[in-house]
Every structure is written in structure tokens, then in C-alpha cells.
Structure 1
Amino acid sequence: MSYDPTAPGTTTAADTASADVTTAEELPTLPTDRRTGCPFDPPAELTALADKPLRRMRYADGHIGWLATGHAAARTVLSDPRFSSRYELQHLPMPMAGLEEMTAIPPAPVGDFLGLDAPEHTRFRRLLTGKFTVRRMRQLGERVEKFTADCLDAMEQAGPTVDLVEAFAQPVPALMICELLGVPYADRDRFQRHVATVFDQSTDAEARGEAFTAVHQFIGELVAAKRAEPTDDLLSDLTSADLTEEELIGVGGVLLAAGLDTTANMLGLGTFALLSNPDQLDALRDAPSLAEQTVEELLRYLSVADPIPRAALEDVEIEGQLVKAGETVTVSVQAANRDPHKFPDPNRFDIHRKATGHVAFGHGAHQCLGQQLARIEMAVAFPALFARFPTLRLAVPPQEVPLRDRANIYGVISLPVTWDKE
């Protein structure tokens, strides 16, 4: 499983030098309060920084670093090799529950290529890029349609009032991860239960830790089985690559973490956004061919994966500001995707918009490997959901929908919905 990079870091010489210059200044922290009246908008303080694409901010451990809110600045930081993805060089952008006692971020666990730089990162990336082939994505697309239909069948039987997260948003990507990794059908229910517990923000830390261990052990058993008897799946393909057992298990955990929680929250929050914008939902219903364009706009508009920290390896000038070696720059994906210099009228949700160039999947060498699969899942799932339940609506007032306000993957904790039975 991958390690969460948003944890407190250590104080470096660069911190001290920076602090000497800025101790008299009242520096802001990363704003996280989304209560602006709209559950889909970033904190008002972020979108107010359109004319300050890169500014100073104070980190959770006292480090004085930077906040990138401009689209161009975000792409620069995410693509410039002078900014490191190594966890141990970074600082916590905001406090994280359960990590208060941590004084430094440990290096990436074996196989977690998200916390590596070139050439180590490149080694893993090249191996994996070749596995996300057009043929495999097409095959998985056919499976998405089946899994989506199966979940909708079960949802219809359970309804007409259900929690969409539990009935639809989580199962669809979970089943696709099982398909991608080649989890045997007999083991999928057990695997999905453990995975759901790991990502359940309402579950206590001890239970989530136990589920984390169970998933890690399960992936280890799966790797051993694939080595002994390969099947037609990504994990089997990787057993023939130059990877150790520990690296294979780590890669499996990264693919699981990266491919499940983000897509599940996009499906849940995306449904909430469409139900809250009936004109846009009607446009999608009238023209299902707009599904892919709708997905891109939802990715831009919601930006569930945020923020992304990077550490400067040397002095770098961005937007007229000098970022010194050792300083952490946090990219706000939410703000970058609402930058009016890139997206006119950015706070308007419009499925007719050409949202090309958003950074919802990151940018540069670490851009999401599974982005095409995530797009396929959403492009199939949203039209199918609203075609099956044309009267789908919230079962509670919008203000009562519980939100994952303090998680680094934003979304809804649950989404009670209902529909008219024929």
C-alpha cells in the first residue's frame, strides 16, 4: 500500500533561512474550509488568489513554503524535475488526523513509485505504462459496462432509497480494480470489504489499520499465486518483469490506492453535482454523446485529489518568485482548475465546456497512469445511472449530505438518493 505523503516533515537549513526573512509576516495556512454555500467550490480564499499564482504559506510543522494556485504555476511545479516527489523531503501542507506525533515523513515504501524521482521512478513508470495498453483498456471498458449494469440491478432491487456511495460509487471502481489486478471471483467480496474499510473515513483508526494489513497480506498472496499460475491481468504481466516480491506487492498497493478512492469519490460527488445542476443533467440525458466531455468538466470542477506537495531540489524562479532549495511548494489542484486565466467563468459547471488542460490527474512525469481507465468508468457509469433511474434525486436536503471536508481526497461520505418506482 502507498504511504500518504501529507505528513509532517523535518526542519531543514532552508527552513531556518526562510523563517529568518518572514517571521514578522503574518503568513496564511492552506485554507480547507469549503463552506462557501456550494459543496463543489474550493475554499473562497483559494479562488481569491487568481492574481497571486504563487504565494508564501505556513505549513503544519512551521515550515515556511509556498502555495501554487495558478494553472501555469501548477503545471510548472508538477513537470519540472527540479521539484521532488520524495516524501522525506516534503512538509505537511495541513494538519492530518492521526499523524500529529509524526516528526518526519519516512521515504516511500518499497514499490511506492509515487514517492520517487528519476531514475528510480522512471524504472517503475516504464514497466507500468506498457501494461495500460489500448487493448487492455478496451477489454476493461467492456467489463465496466457489465459491472455498472450489475450494480444498477442490485441498486434497483434494494431501492427505491439507497446510499449511492455504498450501492454504486464504491463497488464499480472496486470491481474494476479486482479485474485489473486479477483478483479471483471467489475472493472479491472479502477483498472489497477490506478495501472499503481502509478508505472509510468514518471507521476508527484501529479498524482501518487492521484492514490495511489484511489488504497488504492479500496482495502478497495474490502476487505469489500469479507467479505460480499467471492469468490475463496486469499483476500477472508484472510477475515477468524485473521486480522483487516486495516491489510487486508495493506496486499492487499503489494501483489499488490510486485507482479506487479517487474514482469512487468522483462518482459520488459527481452524481451530487449533476443532481444539483438539473440543466446540465438534462443536457447529458438529451445527448449521451456528451458523456466524455461531461467527465472532463466534472474532473476540472470537482478536483477531488488535492493538494499535491513538491520539494525544491535547487533554487527555482517561478512567476517572478524565487523558491529556494529545500522549500516545499504545495500545488492546489482545486485553485489551478478554477483559474480564470485558463478557464473563463471557472466557477460555472458547464458540460459544454472544453476542459482540456485541467490538472485533476496531475501533470508531468507523475501524471496518473490509470487516468484513461478512470475516464472510461465515469463515462459509462454516469449515463447508465441516470438512464436506469430517470427520476433519481436526493433523499435528503443538499445541506445534509455529509462531506469529506478534512480528507486529502474530497467527496461525500454518503449520498442518500431515491427514485420513483414504476
Structure 2
Amino acid sequence: MLKDRIHDELLSPENLRNPYPYYAMLREEAPVYWNEKFDTWVITSYQAVVWSLRHPEYFSSEVFLRDDKPPSPPISEEDFSKYKFNLDYMNNWFIRRDRPDHLRMRRAVHPVFNPKYIDNRFRAMVQGIIQDLLKDFDPQSGDMDVLRDFANAMPVLVIANWLGMPAEDREFLRTLSRQLLSLDQESPDRHTRVHEAITTLNDYVNPLVEERVSEPSDDLLSVLAIGEREGELSREEVLGNTLLLLIAGHQTTINLVGNGTMALMKNPEQWNMLKEDDSLLVRATEELLRYDSPVKRAPRIALEDIELGGEKIREGEKVMTIINSANRDPMAFENPEDLDITRYPNPHVAFGGGIHHCLGANLARLEGQEAFRALTRKFPPFKFASDPNQLEYHNLLNIRGVVSLPAEW
């Protein structure tokens, strides 16, 4: 029976380390599969994932608003009020809303996320930040922890700068935004940790918003504050989406750089190919996004009964589209298990799809391109400083990435 071969442990140690054999089994035997532990349908084939993301009339992003079932995995009874507070708070995120609210909130910030604006404002800044982070490393021989010494620092410096937050507060912001990701863990106290992070960050951000409402500046927080002043956004929506942009603006990019560097370490010939020809930079970054995507899933909830992949999904049932699996589907990609930085076309779904295609995709691409350009140009291929099979991965449903990545050259 299928149940004897496919288990529900999305966060098992082997699936955290290497989920791709598990996803391949699901694609082959049950591309639309009911996971009892997490009370959700798991969708793994490229075709079904793309279809689900592009049909919000069937699969809503308002999971927190529409799901009235108890939290899964279970939480302690004393945490239930914090659980409700957290869900109400995250219902202000535009990524958790359908039209028209999604469009209204996204429209308030969309103009400053276009490719030309992003490139003009950030290319030189990102290059300068990267140069400063790498300046003390000997290009001939040495060692670094790619996460601790580089990937963790670079994206938070960029997004916090854009939001207009003081430089001395950026480590504080990174720590709290990391704590917000506790929601994706299985621990029964996860909602206490998230509640603490939300309230602390709100207390920090609210006075900054108050300043920008009366005196806007040239930063992203001012764009949100102007949206409030013009009646497009409520204060709760400004606060919620500031925290969303802070998290999404650096946590995923950290893991793009970490996962991408690790993939190049495992394929030194590709590292050298990029070192010798940085005209491959755009294709290489897209391939690294596909090969080991930093975002694992996009959650949805069914708005009506619908048949998908031979299964009957009923109204009100949750759905988890697995981005990493779709990006390794052999029905969509030739030799999907191989890293090929010359791959073109590359229709990966690392940034989701449909109306919820990632707003920050242009900035993430730019940061990834400049990070991979700098590492491959300055250094020979990194080698693992410890057994790569013993690397610790974050125990999260949503984000894929290692805790640290010791390297030497």
C-alpha cells in the first residue's frame, strides 16, 4: 500500500537533509497526497503546483481566515489566545489575502519593486556591502562560514537600509524576524515565541511609522506610511506588512545564497565555469533558485470541491504546494537532478506564481547575482570544512536552508 511506503514526516531528519527522493516518490505515486499529520493535501508535480498557484478562484491564500480547524500540530491550551492573536496579525499580510484586499495592499508598494527601480537603487549598494563583507578574506587560501560571515549579514543590511531602520538595530531585527519563523516548527510553544516577536517588533516599528506619516522620507517604510495617509492601508496593515517585508526581504535571500553556494561547492566545475564567464550570471542564479529553492511551499485552502491529480479536494481543506518538488519534476525539466548553470529556458516556480508571484523577486535576484559573482570571482571553489551529510538544516516547513556552512579553499 502507498501508506506503507510514504510517511507523513515532512520534517523528518532525512527529509530536512535531502527531501528530493521523497518528493520524487510522491510525484511518481501520489502527486496529490493527503498528509494526515499536517491535515493538508500535499501537491508535488510541477503541473499541479503551477495550476494551483494560478487559480486563486479555487485555491485561496486566506488560509488563516478560512481555516477553522484546531492548529496542527497541536499546541498547548494556554497558548490558544496567542495563536488567535498571531493569526489575526498575519491576516494583515498581503500574501495571506485574496483580491481585492491583496491587490489594494500590494498596489501601495508595487511601484518601488519594479526591475529598473531595484537595479538603479540597489546594484551599487549591494556590491559595496558584499565587497566590505569579503574584504578581509584571503583569495588564495582561508576559511569562512558562508552563513555566519556572509549570507546572514548581507540581505538584512539591504532590507533594513531600505526600510529606513538604524544600522545599529539590524542584528536585533534579524534575530526577531528569525523568531517569527517559529510558526513553521512543530514545537508546542511555537505561538508564544511568535507572539513575543510580533509584539516586540510592533513596539519598535510603530513610532517609526508615526514619524513617516507626518514626514515621509526616501525609504520603504515611508511608502507604506504614505499608503496609510492616503487611506489605502490601515495602521495594522502597515505594521504587519513592514514585518512581512523585513522577513521576506532577507530570510529567503540568506538561504538562496547559502543553498546556491553549497550547490556550487558540490559542482566545482560549475563554480569555475561561472568564474570564467560571468555573462552566465543571470542563468546561473535562476538555476540555483530552481535547484534548491529557499522557499519550500505555498499554502492554500480550497474554496470549493475540486478534483486534482485524481483526488477529490473538498471545500475548506488545506493544500500545500511543494515548490522544491515542482522544480525537480522531470516532466518540466530535463535532467532535473543535475545543476546546469547554462539551463535555458528555466520556468522554475521558486518565486511562486499567479497573482502572488513574489513581490521582492527582482531584489532577491539582484542580491543572488551579486553574491555569486563576488564569491566565484574572488575565490577558487570552496570545499566543505566538515562532512556535508552532517550539516544541520532549519527545522521549518516553509524555509529550506542550513544553520551554518563551514567552507575552506
Question: Do the aligned partners of 2:108 and 2:223 also contact (CA within 8 Å) in 1?
Answer: no
Match in the other structure for 1:29: 8
- Label 1:286 to 1:34 Cα distance change in 2 as closer, same or farther (>3 A): farther
* Amino acid across the alignment from 1:86: E
* 1:86 corresponds to which of 31, 52, 62: 62
State the secondary structure of the residue aligned to 1:29: coil
Change in Cα spacing, 1:324 to 1:212, as seen in structure 2 (3 Å) is: closer
CA 1:27/1:281 → structure 2, altered by over 3 Å: closer, same or farther?
A: closer
User: 1:344-387: per-residue Cα shift (whole Å, max 9, x none)?
Assistant: 11111111112522111111111110011000000001120222
The corresponding residue for 2:33 is: 56
Cα offset, 1:194, TM superposition: 4.3
**Partner of residue 44 from structure 1, selected from 21, 25, 29:** 21
Question: What does 1:249-264 align with in structure 2 at a 5 Å threshold?
Answer: 249-264=239-254
How far apart, in 1, do the equivalents of 2:299 and 2:236 lie? 26
Taking the aligned partners of 2:305 and 2:387, their CA distance within structure 1 comes to 50
Residue 295 of structure 1 pairs with residue 285 of structure 2: yes
Q: How much does 1:179 deviate?
A: 2.3
Question: Of 195, 215, 235, which residue of structure 1 is paired with 2:221?
Answer: 235
Asked whether the 8 Å contact 1:28–1:57 carries over to 2, the reply is no
Aligned residues: 389
Q: Equivalences for 1:15-414 in 2 at 5 Å?
A: 28-29=7-8, 31-33=10-12, 35=14, 39=17, 41-52=18-29, 54-60=31-37, 63=39, 65-80=40-55, 81-88=57-64, 89-90=66-67, 99=75, 106-107=87-88, 109=90, 111-138=92-119, 139-153=121-135, 160-192=142-174, 194-195=176-177, 210-241=196-227, 242-354=232-344, 356-390=346-380, 392-414=382-404
Q: What residue ranges of structure 2 are gaps of 5+ in the alignment?
A: none
CA–CA distance in 1 between the matches of 2:236 and 2:318? 30
Query: What do residues 50-77 of structure 1 show as CA deviations (whole Å, max 9, x unaligned)?
Result: 345643313326x4x5321111110111
Indicate how the Cα distance of structure 1 residues 26 and 417 shifts in structure 2: closer, same or farther if over 3 A, else same. Answer: closer
Cα drift, residue 188 of structure 1: 3.7
SS in 1 for 2:42: strand
| Matched letter for residue 243 of structure 1 | L
Q: Please give the alpha-carbon distance, in whole angstroms, between the structure 2 residues aligned to 1:326 and 1:27.
A: 24
Q: Is the 8 A contact 1:74 1:336 kept in 2?
A: yes
- Higher alpha-carbon deviation: 370-379 or 304-313: 304-313
- Residues 134 and 150, structure 2, Cα contact 8 Å, conserved in 1: yes
> What SS class does the counterpart of residue 305 from structure 1 fall into?
coil
- For 1:13, the equivalent position in structure 2 comes to none
Question: Is the contact made by 2:296 and 2:322 (CA closer than 8 Å) also made in structure 1?
Answer: yes
Q: Deviations over 1:205-257 (max 9, x none)?
A: 77776555433322223212222332212221222222222221111011111
Amino acid at match of 2:108: L
Write the deviation string for residues 371-408 of structure 1: whole angstroms up to 9, x where unpaired. Answer: 11000000001120222232633222222322225452
Q: TM-score, with normalisation over the residues of structure 1?
A: 0.81
Give the Cα separation in 2 of the matches to 1:290 and 1:391. 16
Please give the secondary structure, in 2, of the residue aligned with 1:50: helix
* 1:415 partnered with 2:405: yes
What displacement does 1:33 show? 4.2
CA positional deviation for 1:28: 4.7
Structure 1 residue ranges without an equivalent (≥5): 1-23
1:386–1:392 CA contact under 8 A, matched in 2: no
SS at match of 1:390: coil
Is residue 301–residue 347 contact of structure 1 (8 Å, CA) maintained in 2? yes
Query: Residue 342 of structure 1: SS of its match in structure 2?
Result: coil
C-alpha change, 1:209 and 1:328, in structure 2 (3 Å) is closer
CA contact (8 A) 1:394 1:417 kept: yes
1:170 counterpart letter in structure 2: N
Please give the root-mean-square deviation of Cα atoms over the aligned residues, in Å. 3.3
Per-residue CA deviation, residues 111-139 of structure 1 (Å, 9 max, x unaligned), is: 31222111111211222222213343021
Whichever residue aligns with residue 308 of structure 1, its letter is A
User: C-alpha separation between the residues in 2 aligned to 1:415 and 1:25?
Assistant: 35
Taking every aligned residue pair, what percent have the same amino acid on both sides?
33
Say which structure is richer in helix. Answer: 2
SS in 2 for 1:74: helix
Residues 307-356 of structure 1 show CA distances to partners (whole Å, capped at 9, x for unaligned) of 22211111223344432212222211121111111001111111111252
Greater shift, 230-239 or 320-329, is seen at 320-329
In structure 2, do the counterparts of structure 1 residues 194 and 26 end up closer, same or farther at CA, with 3 Å as the change threshold?
closer
